Structure 1
Amino acid sequence: MARLLSYLMNFYFRRSCLRKAAWSVIGLVLFAPVAALVFQNSRVSTYPVGWERSFQLSSFNVVARNAAAASQDNFIAVVYEGISGKGREIYASFSFNAGASVLPSLKVADASSKTELNPHVAIARSGAVSVMWQGYVDGESATRIFYSTSKDFGATWTAPRKLILGKQTEMLPRIYYDDRNVLHLFYHGSVDGNINLFHAESPDGVDFTTTGSLIRLSGSVRGAFFPSICLSGEDFHIVWQGKEEDFSDELFFIKSSNYGRSWSSKKRITGSAGNNEVPAVAKYGNVLYVVYQNNDEKNWAIKMIRSNDRGRTWEAVPLKVSTTVANCYSPAVGIFGTDLLIVWYDTRAAGGTIYSRKYSIKDDAFMPEVPVSDTPQGSKNPAILVLSNRSFLFWEGKNVIMAKQTDVSAEPPRVYSDTNPEGRWSRLPYVMMRWYPPADESGIAGYAAIMNDQPDFNPTVVNLKPEVTRQRITDLSDGVSYFHIRAVDNAGNYSRTIHYKLQLAINPMPEPSIASATHEQGKPNRSPAPSFTWSLGGMERVKGFVYGLSRDTIRMPDHFTTDMNVQLKGKGLEDGNYFFSVAAVDKSNQPGRVSTYAFIVGGRENADPDYYKKVAKEERKFERRYAFAPAPVRAGIARPPKVTINPPAERSPYVYYTERIMGKLSSRLGFMSVAFFGLAIAATTLGYGKRIRFYVYLFLFKISVAYRLFLKKN
């Protein structure tokens, strides 16, 4: 063994090529892991299909929690509590396009409070935004409610103002604007040691008038907590959690049909062996849906009950929403079209994960539950806003507020054509359409494409696979046609349709129809100043006309005009036989078929038979000479036009061409192999420096000497 090692070391020092190869291998081994870490790339996908990617909504320099949101049309306001070195503050974020983009957070107010603020927000139809929160007042040793308003969609805010409501403690405000722009406040108040629900209203958003407690507490009900409130016109519905005499929690219902001026008596809507807590209510038509958490099976599960008559009667047996044995908390609900969208968080994963489940109101059936959040540090306390065409979901991550929205739209592809640039007419007998695939969170499932003569047609059948980026079309007709294409993503969303206008001039224009008001065709007429008019269909192709006048023989027209009539004036024509010829010229500068009109100037017709034989012979010769064959012959063109397509302006040309080259690599393995060998070659080249090589050889020489001494001793 020692002799073999000695032989290998001697061979290593004698052969320079072996040394280079060895160092190349060493460089490859050392740099391959680094290159793998740097160049590795995996496709980002979101689950479930139907939700777009999560994004951080809260500011990066605060610890954010306790978020609430409201919407009016496409305007969204989200408020939350931010904790920094300055203490607790109220922040707000806004979106003016239904959550497609969210403006950076801005500070609404400072709040010097020892307790959590739990802010809430409401938006009036006029655009006024009101924010309320609770704060601990040291001088009163009690919690009070504060508020601030904005009249300009959140640009400026009034100074915080404390509400005077006359209770021992006021906390957990919930505010809503009704359809009259009256602001309603629902809050918890403490009177004689009992926690109850109270209601106040303000027509101007400044001064509030409060009423007595909404709920009459009896011996069996010791408190009212955590209301969920649904406003629908003048009807207000409240579902709340009440503490029973045996300290179990049940759900109760009250309603008002006159904007909260009077309320019905409480109705208990649940009854089970366990506890029923944290309700969330939504209304669809005359049906009320309440989701809540229940622990009849020892673990906390999400369940749902319904009332089909606006709260008069309720189902006795609830529907189970969650299917896991893990504990589920904090349900929220929204009406999305004809579906009920229910969200909650559970403890299947460490820290919690947001899950959603759709319930089809039309089919009376649940769809599978799916995870929504992808925050690695955990997610909790979800809330949902439903707008006209999408849902906006947000929740608490670790010290941040995260958000995402339903994937209810797809972007269209970017379409172009090398053969048929927009605004130009083409004589080619085929069309080559190309497009760039759009980016989509759920991925593109395919394309619906068709070509016809309808300018606003929307294709619905997916007939192209997602990897297809071009289509060659040969079944063409002259005139204006449209290539319609739209993308379809894996969430089932169709993009808007791209209507690409194609202007095709494949075949020559037909013969114009010539008429004369002065000279009837083939009949003698003494007038020496004839006039002609002509007509032609398909005028969108026509650039103009060429016409010509000849005597005794037919000639190709050579005078250009954009008119459709001509009057020959001047000294007048001599007696004889004449031929007036007209041909259309299309917008690709292709002349059409020639139409000839024969007329006679003078008192009598030429009766010489030889003359007519000559005319007939000339006419046949003319037709053979200027005859046009139908497509695919491209008459009058030596070669098809060359069109240069530049990359899109927002992308560098280098990025464009690099993508095209790298797209030809078969897989990521090929890409990484190229990167590895490139780094290995670079490292080997650097190793050939004299100084580095000297120290390397010196090190190896010392090893060799030490090894030889070791062999001699043994």
Structure 2
Amino acid sequence: MRIPNDSWVILAVVVLSVGLLAPARSLSCITDYSAEPSSGLTRNAPPRPVLDEAQGWTQDFILSNPASSIARSPDMAVDGSNIHVVWEDWRMISEGKTYEVFYRKSTDNGATWSEERILSNDDSECSGNPQIAVENGTVLVVWNDCRGSSIFELYYAKSSDNGQTWSENIALTSNDGSNSEWPLVAMRGDKVHIVWGDERDGQYEVYYRNSTDGGVTWSEDRRLTNWTWGTDAPHGLDLNESYVHVLLNRYVGNWESFYIRSNDGGVTWSSPVPVADMDGHNSEPCAMSSSGSTVHIGYVDWKLGPLEVFYGNSTDNGTTWNPGRRISKGSVEAGSCDIAIGPPNIHFVFYDKRHGDSEIFYKNSSDMGVTWGDEVRLTYADGVSAQPEIGVNGSYIHVVWIDKRYSEPRTFYKRFPEFGPDTVRPTAPTLLSASLMNNSQDVRLSWAMAEDEGFVGGTSNYLVSRAEDIGGPYSAVAEINASGTSTYTWTDIGVGEGDAKNYFYYVESVDASNNTNRSGKAAKLNFHLDPGRHLLSVPLVQENESTPTVLQTLSYDIAWSYDSIGKDWKKYSPFRSPDGLIKLDHKIGFWVNVTRESNLTIAGLVPTLTTINLSEGWNLVGFPSFNSTYSVSYLRVEVGASRVEGYDSLPPYYLRLLGDMEVLQAGEGHWVKLETDIVWTVVD
């Protein structure tokens, strides 16, 4: 695995300006992301995930969900069907935004994922560069952290139960006033090996520690490099039997890729040897993996002009090295590679900027690096895709990377092969409101992000459907791509007050397999009223229930309702101060005196269940339901009503006794007389 560092894009400037004075750190092949967020948290809805571009691969799934996060430096370890992923993330934790180390796992080859877990303590702003290793259910994560100062030290956390529970954070390096950064970790059985960059000697050198009891106790720190110009942090670490392989950068007038090894489990070490051509062009390693006596590496090199990705190997455990082979295709820029071995296959990922923004590409060799297949482009969304990591388990290939398609960088995952037939419905979205907008001419719907959005098999887009009757038929009128925002809105233009029709809506979550799940319903209702008295109700849950807002489209001079608890009348007039009737919710009935022919147009959510507290005596109530079979006789049985009256257009009382077979109507008000207090439950 490679380790992120300062952006390589400044390398030419550094080398030209310092002459023979080497910079303290080499310049990584990893695309750099700003430590501060950009001005917007989300961009316009991205293209819908494409399944047929990378044949056989799943769509892209977000592992780091919050829109306000800035993720970077992912790492992955695969142990059978268990996939463990860590990354650093700058987001709101506790009382402020900090960089912390986050962890998620899958126990079914990426089909489902655990909730996020913070592994670093919430006590600094600079927990980062996490690296992870796993062996038979033991998981170890190491990272650099600047607790209580601006100096980085190394910490680790361990799980002995496949990531279910974790130890406290344990310091690996002492606070000696010098930085210890960019760790790499590898584990076989109970043997754990760690290398990192350390500047205790005045410049960055590579240091090493190991544990023979699974991280309970550790050897003393050991310095592995000693070079006049300074050596950057290690860029690769792998184990094979008694061999410990390390890749690093060395400054020799320009940056070159070097290798050191131990053939006795870390007791003694070789001197550094170059693994790429020493031709005066900058190179930097970014990945290493071994199988048998063959050590496979990836590195970037400027030898051909633009930055390109190369593959190299040694077939004698690092004693000699074969010439490198270009993997990328002569693009504008390529880099940030990783390697995974599943003999006889080598799996290779890297980013490439040939299409503008950097995208993730994959290549495979089925004969241990002798020949290579065609490359496969894995990402297609707008925005930078970089920092890929790859892991294999049998026929499964897993890739994680950092992606800026939603403006801020987030951690993404995909795998090969794609999942089998998916018949699981996604999580339904929750409608939040429906309201009139733009002088009551339009209807705006608002809903919360589905809880499974961004997860494997979860919601990938939303469909808004509309009908003129609550029972349908419904037709899709809008499709909105899932973009990771917490709240979505959509506006139906021109269907408000100026449209006499009633409209009903619902929103569906749709996943990549076109499974769907519906929200509740919303509606826009239009009641045409002649001048005079009317007994009405509002059968929708509105975003704003204030009386003037509810009646905003109606021409009237007074509205009034009866308070059955206080046994008094409450009134509202647009021409005088309110007299108690400050809101009109979906539970009450009310009178209104219309002054000229006009429409009462309302928009809101269709209630599914409403409880209305009824008092002894007369109650003026609404009927917040669109159940077309609910009769007066049902009401009498349910609440014990002795008398039910409804609207009549004739004076003086504008009321009439309702017969038992008459059906209650949404939007009408009703007088209900009871002999005792009771709760009326209305189901739509």
Q: What TM-score do the two structures reach when normalised by structure 1?
A: 0.49
Instruction: Verify: 1:55 aligned to 2:66, yes or no.
Output: no
* Residue aligning to 1:92: 103
* Secondary structure of the structure 2 residue equivalent to 1:191: coil
Deviations 1:8-55 (A, max 9, x none): xxxxxxxxxxxxxxxxxxxxxxxxxxxxxxxxx999534211311110
Instruction: Verify: 1:135 aligned to 2:142, yes or no.
Output: no
8 Å Cα contact 1:91-1:106 kept in structure 2: yes
Supply the AA of the counterpart residue of 2:209. Answer: A
* Residue aligning to 1:194: 203
> Which of 71, 87, 96 is the aligned partner of 1:64?
71
Shift, 1:409, TM fit: 6.1
Supply the AA of the counterpart residue of 1:319. Answer: R
The separation in 2 between residues aligned to 1:182 and 1:356, in whole angstroms, is 31
* Residue aligning to 1:101: 112
Shift, 1:88, TM fit: 2.4
Deviations 1:256-285 (A, max 9, x none): 222212122221122223111133122244
> Which of 162, 181, 190 is the aligned partner of 1:171?
181
Shift, 1:65, TM fit: 1.9
Shift, 1:86, TM fit: 4.4
Equivalences for residues 222-261 of structure 1 within 5 A: 222-244=230-252, 246=253, 248-261=254-267
Assess, with a 3 A threshold, how the Cα gap between structure 1 residues 178 and 337 changes in structure 2: closer, same or farther.
closer
Supply the AA of the counterpart residue of 1:307. Answer: S
The separation in 1 between residues aligned to 2:235 and 2:379, in whole angstroms, is 26
* Secondary structure of the structure 1 residue equivalent to 2:153: strand
8 Å Cα contact 1:196-1:225 kept in structure 2: yes
Assess, with a 3 A threshold, how the Cα gap between structure 1 residues 382 and 685 changes in structure 2: closer, same or farther.
closer
Mark the runs of 5 or more structure 2 residues left unpaired by the alignment. 1-46, 426-472, 475-494, 503-525, 531-552, 554-595, 599-684
Q: How many residues align?
A: 391
The separation in 2 between residues aligned to 1:101 and 1:138, in whole angstroms, is 37
* Secondary structure of the structure 1 residue equivalent to 2:146: strand
The separation in 2 between residues aligned to 1:172 and 1:283, in whole angstroms, is 21
Shift, 1:381, TM fit: 0.8
Assess, with a 3 A threshold, how the Cα gap between structure 1 residues 391 and 106 changes in structure 2: closer, same or farther.
same
* Secondary structure of the structure 2 residue equivalent to 1:132: strand
The separation in 2 between residues aligned to 1:396 and 1:326, in whole angstroms, is 20
* Secondary structure of the structure 2 residue equivalent to 1:365: coil
Shift, 1:73, TM fit: 2.0
Equivalences for residues 261-300 of structure 1 within 5 A: 261-271=267-277, 272-300=279-307
The separation in 1 between residues aligned to 2:272 and 2:382, in whole angstroms, is 42
Equivalences for residues 253-402 of structure 1 within 5 A: 253-271=259-277, 272-316=279-323, 318-361=324-367, 364-398=370-404, 399-402=408-411
Supply the AA of the counterpart residue of 2:61. Answer: F
Equivalences for residues 560-709 of structure 1 within 5 A: none
Supply the AA of the counterpart residue of 2:284. Answer: E
Deviations 1:526-557 (A, max 9, x none): xxxxxxxxxxxxxxxxxxxxxxxxxxxxxxxx
The separation in 1 between residues aligned to 2:71 and 2:316, in whole angstroms, is 40
Instruction: Verify: 1:73 aligned to 2:84, yes or no.
Output: no
8 Å Cα contact 1:67-1:401 kept in structure 2: no
Deviations 1:631-670 (A, max 9, x none): xxxxxxxxxxxxxxxxxxxxxxxxxxxxxx99xxxxxxxx
RMSD value, Cα: 3.7
The separation in 2 between residues aligned to 1:307 and 1:287, in whole angstroms, is 5
* Residue aligning to 1:15: none
Q: Which has the higher contact order (CA 8 A, sep 6+)?
A: 2
Assess, with a 3 A threshold, how the Cα gap between structure 1 residues 412 and 196 changes in structure 2: closer, same or farther.
same
Shift, 1:689, TM fit: 7.1
Assess, with a 3 A threshold, how the Cα gap between structure 1 residues 349 and 210 changes in structure 2: closer, same or farther.
farther
> Which of 167, 191, 196 is the aligned partner of 1:182?
191
Equivalences for residues 19-30 of structure 1 within 5 A: none
Assess, with a 3 A threshold, how the Cα gap between structure 1 residues 43 and 296 changes in structure 2: closer, same or farther.
closer
Shift, 1:196, TM fit: 1.1
Shift, 1:373, TM fit: 1.8
8 Å Cα contact 2:144-2:153 kept in structure 1: yes
Assess, with a 3 A threshold, how the Cα gap between structure 1 residues 410 and 149 changes in structure 2: closer, same or farther.
closer
Equivalences for residues 527-546 of structure 1 within 5 A: none
Deviations 1:144-199 (A, max 9, x none): 111222233222222223224576321111122123x1222211111321211111
Assess, with a 3 A threshold, how the Cα gap between structure 1 residues 107 and 212 changes in structure 2: closer, same or farther.
closer
The separation in 1 between residues aligned to 2:99 and 2:154, in whole angstroms, is 15
Supply the AA of the counterpart residue of 2:116. Answer: S
The separation in 2 between residues aligned to 1:151 and 1:283, in whole angstroms, is 25
The separation in 2 between residues aligned to 1:44 and 1:288, in whole angstroms, is 35
* Secondary structure of the structure 2 residue equivalent to 1:210: coil
Equivalences for residues 113-152 of structure 1 within 5 A: 113-115=124-126, 117-125=128-136, 127-139=137-149, 141-152=150-161
The separation in 2 between residues aligned to 1:325 and 1:82, in whole angstroms, is 30
The separation in 2 between residues aligned to 1:90 and 1:362, in whole angstroms, is 34
* Residue aligning to 1:155: 164
The separation in 2 between residues aligned to 1:87 and 1:62, in whole angstroms, is 10
8 Å Cα contact 2:77-2:83 kept in structure 1: yes
Assess, with a 3 A threshold, how the Cα gap between structure 1 residues 276 and 313 changes in structure 2: closer, same or farther.
same
The separation in 1 between residues aligned to 2:421 and 2:147, in whole angstroms, is 55
8 Å Cα contact 2:346-2:368 kept in structure 1: no
Identity %: 21
The separation in 2 between residues aligned to 1:361 and 1:262, in whole angstroms, is 33
Shift, 1:352, TM fit: 1.8
Equivalences for residues 445-594 of structure 1 within 5 A: none
Bigger fraction of residues in strand: 2
Q: What TM-score do the two structures reach when normalised by structure 2?
A: 0.51
Considering only CA atoms, is the larger Rg found in Structure 1 or Structure 2?
1
The separation in 1 between residues aligned to 2:500 and 2:148, in whole angstroms, is 71
The separation in 1 between residues aligned to 2:422 and 2:221, in whole angstroms, is 58
Assess, with a 3 A threshold, how the Cα gap between structure 1 residues 259 and 166 changes in structure 2: closer, same or farther.
farther
Supply the AA of the counterpart residue of 1:135. Answer: D
* Residue aligning to 1:536: none
Shift, 1:410, TM fit: 6.1
The separation in 2 between residues aligned to 1:362 and 1:120, in whole angstroms, is 26
The separation in 1 between residues aligned to 2:345 and 2:164, in whole angstroms, is 35
The separation in 1 between residues aligned to 2:345 and 2:276, in whole angstroms, is 24
* Residue aligning to 1:472: none
* Secondary structure of the structure 1 residue equivalent to 2:129: coil
8 Å Cα contact 1:241-1:279 kept in structure 2: no
* Secondary structure of the structure 2 residue equivalent to 1:123: strand
The separation in 2 between residues aligned to 1:42 and 1:382, in whole angstroms, is 21
The separation in 2 between residues aligned to 1:201 and 1:362, in whole angstroms, is 30
Deviations 1:47-101 (A, max 9, x none): 2113111100124263322211212222221111222234222211011122222
8 Å Cα contact 1:165-1:210 kept in structure 2: no
8 Å Cα contact 2:143-2:156 kept in structure 1: yes
Assess, with a 3 A threshold, how the Cα gap between structure 1 residues 284 and 149 changes in structure 2: closer, same or farther.
closer
The separation in 2 between residues aligned to 1:386 and 1:294, in whole angstroms, is 26
